[in-house]
Amino acid sequence: MTAPQSHHALPIPNGWFAVAWSRDLEAGQVVKVHAFARELVLFRTRAGKPVVLDAYCPHLGAHLAVGGRVVGETLRCPFHAWRFDETGGCVEIPHCASVPPSARLRSYEVVERNEMIFAWYHAEQKPPDWEVPTIDVIGHPDWTPSRRVDIDVAVHMQELAENNFDPAHFEIVHGTPLPPPSDYEYSQNGRFVRAVSEMKRETPIGTFDTRLVRETFGLGLSTVVSEGIPGVGTMLFVSVSPIDASHSRMRWLLTVTKNIADTFGEEFMTGIVKGVMDDVPIWENKIHRDKPVMCETDKHIAEFRRWTRQFYSD
Ligand code: FES
Ligand SMILES: [Fe+2]
């Protein structure tokens, strides 16, 4: 018997996922979002609060992001002007004295952090059990304004996250070996993983013992930080969100200390984007092997796969 060939054997994981960049959503703005294999409406209230709701009106099914309008702290349906608040409850129906209790939309918990808007998705609608970390160098006066890149890839998001735990592909796909992490630490109830790689780095101002710190927060958020050269730092924040079970959106945010912005910032960003582009054809054409044949170099992948199970409801 041959193994079944499925490209997308994994469901949508539970977690915090970016649905937009903060700066792309002004007060009063309404945006159509497809994420978690659902149609969603994202809007910012007049007071500035971002809100995510299921998109289809419980009345006759209009798409709230297509012609829907922010009215104060609520969203008004374009079809018959029912209004919904941030909890998804209908607060007003024109010409009707009472609102049926079932007039409500699924709402998603939202946090705005690190210049992004995150929504909590859980297949069983359970509340969040971990927090999006605050990356303190984002927006820090000693660090450059962030550079941003968005990349959509036709693959399940777990394949993107797995890349980070796959040292063997670095040399082959990217032409640069990755120094092995000396150490993996787990925190926040095991939802976060931190890997530190030590290496000597030669720079125009001397040779330093540096560290590359890679952190993963849930299935979809990660940072790559370089440390060890006094006064100099680079930070990459990566968010991966499930558009559906076979499409992912990556959002990359890069910031570096201002003292290297002119000499290093541009090359760093270009290098990163090129690096990801090397992975894309592999990702978009691979299948997901639930039980891959593994060898000695795949130890971290096996660990990573075990760790990911906590993010699935099945
Ligand atoms: S469809 Fe939304 S108010 Fe009628
Ligand atoms: Fe890669």
DSSP 89: B
Q: For residue 283, report the distance from its CA to the centre of ligand 2, in Å.
A: 9
User: Is-contact 223 255, C-beta < 8 A?
Assistant: no
Q: Among all ligands shown, which has an atom nearest to the Cα of 277?
A: 2
3-class DSSP assignment, residue 63? strand
- C-alpha count within 13 angstroms, C-beta hemisphere, residue 289: 9
Ligand 1: which residue has its CA nearest to atom 4?
A: 80
One domain for residues 214 and 97: no
Write down the pLDDT at residue 89: 98
Shared domain check, 164 and 32: no
Domain-embedded: residue 207: yes
Structure confidence at residue 297 (pLDDT): 85
Query: Beta-carbon neighbour count of residue 219 at 10 Å?
Result: 25
Assess whether the C-beta atom of 79 lies below 6 angstroms from ligand 1: yes
CATH at residue 291: 3.90.380.10
Residue matched to tokens 């006064």: 231
The response to whether residue 99 sits with its C-beta less than 6 Å from ligand 1 reads: no
Closest CA to 218 of 149, 291, 157, 292: 157
User: What pLDDT score was predicted for residue 182?
Assistant: 67
Fill in the DSSP letter of residue 298. Answer: G
**Cβ of residue 213 lying under 6 Å from some atom of ligand 1:** no
Identify whether residues 110 and 159 lie together within a single domain.
Answer: no
According to DSSP, residue 104 is labeled B
Q: Are residues 153 and 262 in the same domain?
A: yes
163 and 277 in one domain?
yes
Distance 236 CA to ligand 1 centre (A): 43
Cβ–ligand 1 distance for 59 under 6 Å, the answer: yes
AA identity, residue 307? W
Query: Residue for token digits 């592909």?
Result: 169
Residues 243-289: pLDDT tens digits?
999 999 999 999 999 988 888 777 877 888 888 899 999 999 999 99
Ligand nearest to the CA of 279: 2
Within a domain: residue 142?
no
From the CA of 168, the nearest ligand is 2
75 and 215 part of one domain:
no
Q: Is 135 within a domain? A: no
CATH number for position 73? 2.102.10.10
Using the mean position of ligand 1's atoms as its centre, give its distance from the Cα of residue 265 in Å: 49
Q: How far is CA 105 from CA 1, 54, 145, 244, in A?
A: 46, 6, 37, 20
Beta-bridge partners for 120: 16
Report yes or no on 137 lying in a domain.
Answer: no
Best of 30, 79, 102 to mutate for ligand 1, by most ligand atoms within 8 A of CB? Answer: 79
pLDDT beneath 70: ranges in the chain: 1-8, 182
Residues 175 and 229 occupy one common structural domain = yes
* Closest protein CA for atom 1 of ligand 1: 60
Tell me if 8 is assigned to some domain. no
Which pLDDT value is given to residue 197?
Answer: 86
**How far, in Å, from the CA of 211 to the mean position of ligand 2?**
19
The residue range of the domain holding 229 is 147-311
Cα gap 284→245, rounded to integer Å:
13
Domain boundary among the residues 121, 136, 157 is at 121
State residue 6's pLDDT score.
52
Question: Strand order in 74-76's β-sheet?
Answer: 69-71, 74-76, 83-84, 90-92
Among the bound ligands, name the one nearest to the CA of residue 68. 1
Asked if 111 and 165 sit in the same domain, the reply is no
The two beta strands, 38-44 and 30-35, are antiparallel
Phi-psi region of 81 (alpha: psi -120 to 50; beta: other; left: phi over 0): left
Q: So what's the pLDDT on residue 117?
A: 98
232 and 98, same structural domain?
A: no
Residue 1's pLDDT is 44
Residues 178 and 77 in one domain: no
Query: Atom of ligand 1 at shortest distance to CA of 82?
Result: 3
Q: Within a domain: residue 1?
A: no
Number of domains, the chain: 2
Which residues, listed in sequence order, are joined to residue 199 by a DSSP beta bridge? 210
Does 63 contact ligand 1 (Cβ within 6 A)?
no
Are 68 and 169 found together in one domain?
no
In a domain, 51, yes or no: yes
Confidence (pTM) = 0.94
**268 and 159 both lie in a single domain:** yes
Contact 218, 241 (CB under 8 A): no
Is there a domain that residue 127 lies in? no
SS (H, E, C) 241-255: EEEECCEEEEEEEEE
